[in-house]
A = this chain, B = another copy of it.
Protein backbone atom coordinates (compact mmCIF):
# COMPACT_ATOMS: atom_id res chain seq x y z
CA UNK A 1 0.00 0.00 0.00
CA UNK A 2 2.82 2.44 0.87
CA UNK A 3 4.25 1.66 -2.58
CA UNK A 4 1.26 3.55 -4.03
CA UNK A 5 2.58 6.77 -2.47
CA UNK A 6 5.24 8.69 -4.35
CA UNK A 7 7.33 11.70 -3.45
CA UNK A 8 7.97 14.09 -6.36
CA UNK A 9 10.83 16.60 -6.15
CA UNK A 10 10.89 19.45 -8.65
CA UNK A 11 14.13 21.12 -9.82
CA UNK A 12 16.08 20.22 -6.71
CA UNK A 13 19.20 22.41 -6.55
CA UNK A 14 21.31 20.65 -3.87
CA UNK A 15 21.82 16.94 -4.62
CA UNK A 16 22.37 16.40 -0.87
CA UNK A 17 18.68 17.13 -0.39
CA UNK A 18 17.77 14.33 -2.80
CA UNK A 19 19.86 11.90 -0.76
CA UNK A 20 18.36 13.11 2.52
CA UNK A 21 14.88 12.78 1.00
CA UNK A 22 15.57 9.16 0.02
CA UNK A 23 16.74 8.33 3.55
CA UNK A 24 13.75 10.10 5.12
CA UNK A 25 11.40 8.15 2.84
CA UNK A 26 12.95 4.75 3.52
CA UNK A 27 13.00 5.42 7.28
CA UNK A 28 9.24 5.77 6.99
CA UNK A 29 8.57 2.85 4.68
CA UNK A 30 8.20 4.76 1.39
CA UNK A 31 10.09 3.82 -1.75
CA UNK A 32 8.81 5.70 -4.80
CA UNK A 33 10.95 8.75 -5.57
CA UNK A 34 10.34 10.86 -8.70
CA UNK A 35 12.69 13.66 -9.73
CA UNK A 36 11.54 16.34 -12.15
CA UNK A 37 14.62 17.91 -13.78
CA UNK A 38 17.03 17.77 -10.84
CA UNK A 39 20.02 20.10 -11.32
CA UNK A 40 22.55 17.30 -10.66
CA UNK A 41 21.73 13.61 -10.46
CA UNK A 42 23.13 11.08 -9.78
CA UNK A 43 25.71 12.64 -7.45
CA UNK A 44 28.17 11.63 -4.73
CA UNK A 45 26.70 14.00 -2.15
CA UNK A 46 23.24 12.51 -2.79
CA UNK A 47 24.67 9.01 -2.26
CA UNK A 48 26.40 10.05 0.98
CA UNK A 49 23.31 11.65 2.49
CA UNK A 50 21.11 8.72 1.42
CA UNK A 51 23.20 6.36 3.60
CA UNK A 52 21.29 3.05 3.73
CA UNK A 53 18.65 4.31 1.27
CA UNK A 54 20.90 4.24 -1.80
CA UNK A 55 18.49 1.73 -3.38
CA UNK A 56 15.82 4.45 -3.56
CA UNK A 57 18.21 6.66 -5.54
CA UNK A 58 19.01 3.76 -7.88
CA UNK A 59 15.33 3.21 -8.56
CA UNK A 60 14.36 6.91 -8.66
CA UNK A 61 12.42 7.93 -11.78
CA UNK A 62 13.85 11.02 -13.46
CA UNK A 63 11.42 12.88 -15.75
CA UNK A 64 11.42 16.20 -17.52
CA UNK A 65 7.94 17.44 -16.66
CA UNK A 66 5.66 17.29 -13.64
CA UNK A 67 2.87 15.94 -15.87
CA UNK A 68 4.89 12.80 -16.55
CA UNK A 69 5.46 12.29 -12.83
CA UNK A 70 1.77 12.38 -11.91
CA UNK A 71 -0.08 11.08 -15.00
CA UNK A 72 -1.08 7.77 -13.37
CA UNK A 73 -2.01 9.28 -9.99
CA UNK A 74 -5.56 9.81 -8.74
CA UNK A 75 -4.61 12.21 -5.95
CA UNK A 76 -1.99 14.95 -6.17
CA UNK A 77 -0.98 17.02 -3.16
CA UNK A 78 1.28 20.06 -3.29
CA UNK A 79 3.32 21.37 -0.37
CA UNK A 80 2.85 25.01 0.26
CA UNK A 81 3.27 27.74 2.81
CA UNK A 82 -0.07 28.41 4.44
CA UNK A 83 -2.31 31.17 3.06
CA UNK A 84 -1.36 30.96 -0.58
CA UNK A 85 -3.58 33.06 -2.77
CA UNK A 86 -4.28 30.00 -4.89
CA UNK A 87 -6.88 28.59 -2.57
CA UNK A 88 -7.11 24.83 -2.83
CA UNK A 89 -8.39 22.95 0.19
CA UNK A 90 -5.55 22.58 2.66
CA UNK A 91 -4.47 19.92 5.18
CA UNK A 92 -1.84 19.96 7.86
CA UNK A 93 0.73 17.15 7.65
CA UNK A 94 -1.21 14.96 10.08
CA UNK A 95 -4.55 15.08 8.24
CA UNK A 96 -2.79 14.92 4.88
CA UNK A 97 -1.30 11.58 5.93
CA UNK A 98 -4.72 10.25 6.95
CA UNK A 99 -6.07 11.24 3.52
CA UNK A 100 -3.11 9.89 1.59
CA UNK A 101 -3.08 6.53 3.37
CA UNK A 102 -6.83 6.13 2.87
CA UNK A 103 -6.57 6.74 -0.89
CA UNK A 104 -3.42 4.72 -1.41
CA UNK A 105 -5.56 1.65 -0.79
CA UNK A 106 -7.24 2.34 -4.14
CA UNK A 107 -4.71 4.07 -6.36
CA UNK A 108 -1.55 6.07 -6.73
CA UNK A 109 -0.93 9.28 -4.82
CA UNK A 110 1.75 11.94 -5.42
CA UNK A 111 3.05 14.48 -2.93
CA UNK A 112 4.98 17.25 -4.64
CA UNK A 113 7.82 19.27 -3.13
CA UNK A 114 9.14 22.37 -4.85
CA UNK A 115 12.48 24.11 -5.26
CA UNK A 116 14.64 24.92 -2.24
CA UNK A 117 14.27 28.66 -2.70
CA UNK A 118 10.85 29.19 -4.19
CA UNK A 119 8.70 26.13 -3.66
CA UNK A 120 6.08 25.35 -6.28
CA UNK A 121 5.07 27.63 -9.14
CA UNK A 122 1.41 28.44 -9.64
CA UNK A 123 1.17 26.25 -12.73
CA UNK A 124 2.36 23.33 -10.60
CA UNK A 125 -0.03 24.08 -7.76
CA UNK A 126 -2.82 24.02 -10.32
CA UNK A 127 -2.05 20.35 -10.95
CA UNK A 128 -2.90 19.56 -7.32
CA UNK A 129 -6.13 18.52 -5.60
CA UNK A 130 -4.99 19.62 -2.17
CA UNK A 131 -2.27 21.54 -0.43
CA UNK A 132 -0.44 20.37 2.64
CA UNK A 133 1.37 22.61 5.10
CA UNK A 134 3.54 21.81 8.09
CA UNK A 135 2.58 23.57 11.32
CA UNK A 136 5.63 25.64 12.32
CA UNK A 137 6.90 28.68 14.17
CA UNK A 138 5.29 31.64 12.36
CA UNK A 139 8.48 33.66 12.88
CA UNK A 140 10.51 31.19 10.81
CA UNK A 141 8.25 28.67 9.10
CA UNK A 142 10.48 27.80 6.12
CA UNK A 143 11.70 24.23 6.46
CA UNK A 144 14.50 22.62 4.53
CA UNK A 145 12.92 20.49 1.80
CA UNK A 146 14.29 17.19 3.12
CA UNK A 147 13.13 18.09 6.64
CA UNK A 148 9.63 18.73 5.24
CA UNK A 149 9.71 15.37 3.47
CA UNK A 150 10.81 13.72 6.72
CA UNK A 151 7.79 15.13 8.56
CA UNK A 152 5.26 14.31 5.86
CA UNK A 153 6.61 10.75 5.56
CA UNK A 154 6.64 10.34 9.35
CA UNK A 155 2.96 11.25 9.54
CA UNK A 156 2.25 8.79 6.72
CA UNK A 157 4.07 6.04 8.60
CA UNK A 158 2.09 6.89 11.75
CA UNK A 159 -1.25 6.87 9.93
CA UNK A 160 -0.30 3.59 8.26
CA UNK A 161 0.96 1.79 11.36
CA UNK A 162 -1.89 3.03 13.57
CA UNK A 163 -4.39 2.39 10.75
CA UNK A 164 -5.73 5.89 11.36
CA UNK A 165 -6.88 7.10 7.96
CA UNK A 166 -9.80 8.67 6.13
CA UNK A 167 -11.59 5.91 4.30
CA UNK A 168 -12.83 6.59 0.81
CA UNK A 169 -14.29 4.05 -1.56
CA UNK A 170 -15.36 5.84 -4.74
CA UNK A 171 -12.73 5.53 -7.45
CA UNK A 172 -11.19 8.76 -8.71
CA UNK A 173 -9.94 9.47 -12.21
CA UNK A 174 -6.20 9.49 -12.88
CA UNK A 175 -4.45 12.79 -13.53
CA UNK A 176 -4.07 11.87 -17.21
CA UNK A 177 -7.85 11.39 -17.50
CA UNK A 178 -8.37 14.81 -15.93
CA UNK A 179 -5.91 16.26 -18.46
CA UNK A 180 -7.87 14.67 -21.33
CA UNK A 181 -11.02 16.18 -19.85
CA UNK A 182 -9.41 19.65 -19.79
CA UNK A 183 -8.42 19.30 -23.45
CA UNK A 184 -11.98 18.24 -24.30
CA UNK A 185 -13.47 21.01 -22.16
CA UNK A 186 -11.38 23.70 -23.82
CA UNK A 187 -12.21 22.47 -27.30
CA UNK A 188 -15.93 22.34 -26.50
CA UNK A 189 -15.90 25.83 -24.98
CA UNK A 190 -14.19 27.18 -28.09
CA UNK A 191 -16.94 25.69 -30.19
CA UNK A 192 -19.62 27.32 -28.04
CA UNK A 193 -17.60 30.57 -28.16
CA UNK A 194 -17.40 30.67 -24.36
CA UNK A 195 -13.68 30.97 -25.08
CA UNK A 196 -12.86 33.29 -27.92
CA UNK A 197 -9.33 33.63 -29.27
CA UNK A 198 -9.15 37.41 -28.84
CA UNK A 199 -10.07 37.31 -25.12
CA UNK A 200 -8.97 34.00 -23.67
CA UNK A 201 -8.14 35.44 -20.26
CA UNK A 202 -7.43 32.91 -17.54
CA UNK A 203 -10.62 30.97 -18.05
CA UNK A 204 -8.96 27.57 -18.37
CA UNK A 205 -6.82 28.21 -15.27
CA UNK A 206 -9.95 29.09 -13.35
CA UNK A 207 -11.84 26.03 -14.57
CA UNK A 208 -8.88 23.79 -13.79
CA UNK A 209 -8.79 25.19 -10.29
CA UNK A 210 -12.48 24.57 -9.86
CA UNK A 211 -12.43 20.99 -11.11
CA UNK A 212 -9.24 20.01 -9.30
CA UNK A 213 -10.70 21.33 -6.09
CA UNK A 214 -14.11 19.71 -6.55
CA UNK A 215 -12.45 16.37 -7.47
CA UNK A 216 -15.09 14.60 -9.53
CA UNK A 217 -15.23 10.86 -8.96
CA UNK A 218 -14.61 8.59 -11.93
CA UNK A 219 -18.32 8.18 -12.71
CA UNK A 220 -18.85 11.93 -12.38
CA UNK A 221 -16.00 12.62 -14.79
CA UNK A 222 -17.56 10.21 -17.28
CA UNK A 223 -20.78 12.19 -16.96
CA UNK A 224 -18.95 15.46 -17.56
CA UNK A 225 -17.25 13.97 -20.62
CA UNK A 226 -20.72 12.88 -21.81
CA UNK A 227 -21.95 16.47 -21.48
CA UNK A 228 -18.98 17.71 -23.50
CA UNK A 229 -19.69 15.12 -26.21
CA UNK A 230 -23.31 16.28 -26.36
CA UNK A 231 -22.03 19.84 -26.76
CA UNK A 232 -19.72 18.68 -29.54
CA UNK A 233 -22.68 17.11 -31.30
CA UNK A 234 -24.84 20.18 -30.83
CA UNK A 235 -22.17 22.51 -32.18
CA UNK A 236 -21.51 20.23 -35.11
CA UNK A 237 -25.25 20.01 -35.90
CA UNK A 238 -25.35 23.77 -35.68
CA UNK A 239 -22.41 24.00 -38.08
CA UNK A 240 -24.17 21.62 -40.47
CA UNK A 241 -27.32 23.68 -40.31
CA UNK A 242 -25.41 26.90 -40.93
CA UNK A 243 -23.70 25.28 -43.90
CA UNK A 244 -27.04 24.12 -45.27
CA UNK A 245 -28.48 27.61 -44.85
CA UNK A 246 -25.45 29.17 -46.46
CA UNK A 247 -25.64 26.80 -49.43
CA UNK A 248 -29.39 27.42 -49.69
CA UNK A 249 -28.66 31.15 -49.61
CA UNK A 250 -26.11 30.65 -52.36
CA UNK A 251 -28.66 28.51 -54.22
CA UNK A 252 -31.31 31.21 -53.94
CA UNK A 253 -28.76 33.80 -55.15
CA UNK A 254 -28.20 31.84 -58.30
Interface residues, chain A, with chain B CB atoms under 8 Å away: 20, 23-24, 26-29, 49, 51-53, 94, 134-137, 139-144, 146-147, 150-151, 154, 157-158, 161
Contact = CB atoms under 8 A, between A and B. Distances in A.
A20 B144 contact: yes
The main secondary structure of chain A at its interface with chain B is: helix
Q: Which of A53, A135, A157 counts the most chain B CB atoms within 10 A?
A: A135
Nearest to A147: B150
Given A150-B150, A151-B154, A26 B140 contact: yes
Contacts of A134: 154
Q: What are the nearest 4 A-B pairs in CB distance? A: A29-B137, A147-B150, A26-B140, A27-B136
A51 B20 CA distance: 17
Nearest to A29: B137
Contacts of A52: 140, 142
11 contacts: A23-B147, A26-B140, A27-B141, A27-B147, A49-B144, A94-B158, A135-B161, A137-B157, A151-B151, A151-B154, A154-B154
Nearest to A48: B14
A223 B157 CA distance: 45
Contacts of A147: 20, 23-24, 27, 146-147, 150
